[in-house]
Amino acid sequence: MSDITFAPAHQPVAIPIAEVLPWAIFGGLLLMIAIYFVGAEEGATSLISGMYIHEFVHDGRHLLGFPCH
């Protein structure tokens, strides 16, 4: 049996939270807007009149499990 052990040549680099946080907030905001338009943009909660947004995201609504009719 050998006494040789594996020692990694590179140490992991720490991720600076201050650089990632603004992008995470921006991504979360875009996600929330997308979820609103796919999940709630119809009827009483509609911000845009007409059925254009509903018809545009109709198949996505069913794919994600949102009922619409």
Each domain of the chain, given as residue ranges in start order, spans: 17-64
* Residue 1: pLDDT over 80: no
Whole-structure pTM value: 0.64
For 5, the token pair is: 């052990």
Largest CA distance in the chain: 75
Residue 13 contacts residue 20 (beta carbons within 8 Å): no
Summarised one tens digit per residue, pLDDT across range 23-67 is 999 999 999 998 888 888 777 777 888 788 878 888 888 888 887
CA dist., res. 6 & res. 56, Å (int)? 55
